[in-house]
Chains A and B, each alone.
Chain A
Amino acid sequence: MRCRKVRFYLSAYCNGELSSRLKPAVSEHLSTCSACRREEAVYRSMSQANGKLSTLTVSDNFNGKLLNRIAQERFAETRTKAFLPKRAPVILWRQAIPAFVTTSLMILLAIIAFSPKNIHLADDIFARRSALNDSYLTVQPVDNVRRTANLDKDWSLGSRLAWAERMNRLSNAIVQQGAWRDIDRSYGLMTASAQAPTPVPYVLGYYKVRPVVRTYMSLESPSAKEGGRAY
């Protein structure tokens, strides 16, 4: 083994860390090479000195200081666990004023709504929502024509359109033949529509403003044939 290689292994050799395979080769080289022996001596004295190095120790009151800090840590932990605030909450006027105004407005509205004068408002609201509302047991006046028409089991869009078409043709025929004057005379209800001498084109929403025509022709309407439902 050459000096360069031996010097690489020398520190491990002196600290007893070299494998048994390499150890004899290094020992053999050291017995013949004085320069490497000098290095070996340095390593040996170094490893001896390592053992003699002064041990650094902490100061005497180290434990006391440390336990003080740990006590602070424990206090911090407890405070976090208990959800205690770190400082008293500060309420800013800027934040408090809107909240105050909103609350007082709500109180005011509640007083107005539930005052004896307006109590029927509240009654109405509660009566509508109440589970004790038994109005379904008695026949109620129909207040929504469209909804009632839709409830008819034989209702269909085709029949309604056909009926509307027929009505349109009839009303045009009436207007053209001058029969509207008789209608006007006998019922006194067609005054507004009688002003229009020309035939009116069919528009889907047109009959909404001419309920009287529907009443007049109700005997020929499909629902009149079926059971005499009059709107």
Chain B
Amino acid sequence: MSKEPEKDIDYSLMRAVQNGDMVAFNELVDRYKDRLMNVIGRMLLSRDDAEDVVQETFVRVYQHRQSFNFQHCFSTWIYTIGLNLARNELRKRKKFKFYDITEMKGNEAEFAVEMKLPNRLPQVLNAAIKGLPEKYRTAFILRDIQEQPYEEVAKILSIPLGTVKSRVNRARMMLRDKLQPKMESYNALSKSTLLPVSLL
């Protein structure tokens, strides 16, 4: 329901951008920069790379502002550009493999996270999302984290609606498979101790 005014605001801003209004463009950037960062940041894992891709996305939006079709949603357009750029970045990474030194000391951090599972569930979930295959991860992020409707996800990813639903479902099942053993072992541990959970 709140989608329609959002759409109209995007359209009016985009019209102003097409007429060379930089204030409107700045406003458009403010509206979308965090949403894009939320998706692309989870796709690329590295914050700096994600920020570069978000910047490149806005540059592309500016370059091709005249070719924007007002029959489509602006958010769909910008997400499509951003995700395509992110995919290109991922493809580049396959050729040159980079190692992050912060990821090397992962084991003890993960253990500490698991010991405080209820409080740290979002972090554990985040790590599990990072482990998903790319196509499931994209669909899951757009649907469950960005809370985009299935129809729009289908448009952004240029795949049929049924495929989106099945990918999201599959991603959820994969996450459940990863999280369930950890949660159950935590529950068993907390039941065997007499200490209250909050002290752990």
Contacts and interface: CB of A to CB of B under 8 A. Distances in A.
A33 interface: no
B34 interface: yes
A104 interface: no
A50 B125 contact: yes
Nearest to A45: B121
Contacts of A48: 121
A42 B176 contact: yes
Interface string A162-182: 000000000000000000000
B29 A66 contact: yes
A66 B55 contact: yes
B122 A52 contact: yes
Please classify the interface of chain B as helix (H, G, I), strand (E, B), loop, or mixed, using the class held by over half of its residues: helix
Contacts of B175: 46
Contact of B55 (A11, A15, A57, A69): A69
Interface in A38-89: 38-39, 42-43, 45-50, 52-59, 62-63, 65-67, 69-70, 73
B42 interface: yes
A12 interface: yes
Nearest to B140: A50
B197 to A, nearest CB: 14
A57 B42 CA distance: 11
Given A42-B180, A53-B122, A63 B29 contact: yes
Contact of A73 (B30, B47, B62): B62
A15 B175 CA distance: 15
B114 interface: no
Please classify the interface of chain A as helix (H, G, I), strand (E, B), loop, or mixed, using the class held by over half of its residues: helix
A65 B26 CA distance: 12
Interface string B94-127: 0000000000000000000000000001100110
**Which range holds the interface residue count of chain A?**
20 to 34
Interface string A9-38: 001100100000000000000000000001
Contacts of B62: 70, 73
B42 A42 contact: no
B144 A50 contact: yes
B122 to A, nearest CB: 5
B33 A58 contact: yes
Nearest to A55: B38
Given A42-B183, A45-B121, A63 B176 contact: no
A11 B180 CA distance: 14
B172 interface: yes
Interface in B18-58: 22, 25-26, 29-30, 33-34, 37-38, 41-42, 47, 50-51, 54-55, 58
B59 interface: yes
A69 B122 contact: no
Contacts of B184: 38
Contact of B126 (A12, A15, A53): A53
Given A66-B55, A69-B59, A70-B62, A58 B37 contact: yes
18 contacts: A11-B169, A11-B173, A12-B169, A39-B176, A42-B180, A42-B183, A46-B175, A49-B122, A49-B125, A50-B125, A53-B125, A56-B41, A57-B37, A58-B51, A63-B30, A66-B58, A70-B22, A73-B63
**The 8 A-B residue pairs with the shortest CB-CB distance in the complex, in nearest-first order:** A56-B41, A11-B172, A49-B121, A52-B122, A49-B125, A49-B122, A56-B37, A58-B37
Given A12-B169, A43-B176, A46-B176, 8 more contacts: A42-B183, A45-B121, A49-B122, A56-B37, A58-B34, A69-B59, A70-B25, A70-B62
